[in-house]
Amino acid sequence: VIVIGGGVAKAGGLLLEQARITMEALAMAQPLKGVRLAVSELGDFAGAVGMVARLTEAEQGRG
pLDDT in tens, 28-58: 878 788 888 888 888 778 788 889 999 999 9
Which pLDDT score, from 0 to 100, does residue 63 have? 56
Cα(60)–Cα(47) distance, rounded to whole angstroms? Answer: 20
Q: What is the DSSP string of 1-63?
A: -EEE-GGGGGGTHHHHHHHHHHHHHHS-HHHHTT--EEE-TTGGGHHHHHHHHHHHHHHTT--
pLDDT of 21 over the 60 cut: yes
Average pLDDT across the chain, whole number: 83
Q: What is the mean pLDDT of residues 10-17?
A: 78
Domain ranges of the chain: 2-59
Percent of the chain with pLDDT over 70: 98
Cα(8)–Cα(12) distance, rounded to whole angstroms? Answer: 8
Which pLDDT score, from 0 to 100, does residue 58 have? 92
